[in-house]
Amino acid sequence: MVVYKGVCHPVLCDIMGHMTTRHYIAMFDDGSYHFLHSLFGWSSEQASIDKKGWADVRHVIDYQAEVAAGDLLEIEARLIKVGNKSMAVEYQMQNISRNELAASLHSTSVYFDLEARSAIPITAEMREAAKAFLSD
């Protein structure tokens, strides 16, 4: 599932001429919100109502190829695992301009009580909705 489309603008590049690390994570993060919405219908508006959200607890990023100013980027996401309180997602950033994998991110996120500031169980309804997105 495509969760992000964007372009690497010159301002996103570092002094060595390629996209700097901080902007990779921003693009992956933006894509994660789209993915959560597709999976569960989750939104920031809903989070402000029910005081439940998500907290990333682990990221593993592999940088595969440089991204330069002007490159067109697309991020796909696939759900790997749903646990009791967490889920694992694999994101792949494709450099459409160069037809190559730019980076991948393996992310672990916990369902989170925004008032108690602690992990909470993923609901049965959420687990059922996620089944359609689980990769084998």
Q: For 1-14, what is each residue's pLDDT tens digit? A: 999 999 999 999 99
Question: pTM (2 decimals)?
Answer: 0.94
Q: CA angle, corner 6, sides to 4 and 11, nearest 5?
A: 135
Q: For 53-101, what is each residue's pLDDT tens digit? A: 999 999 999 999 999 999 999 999 999 999 999 999 999 999 999 999 9
Domains of the chain: 2-131 (3.10.129.10)
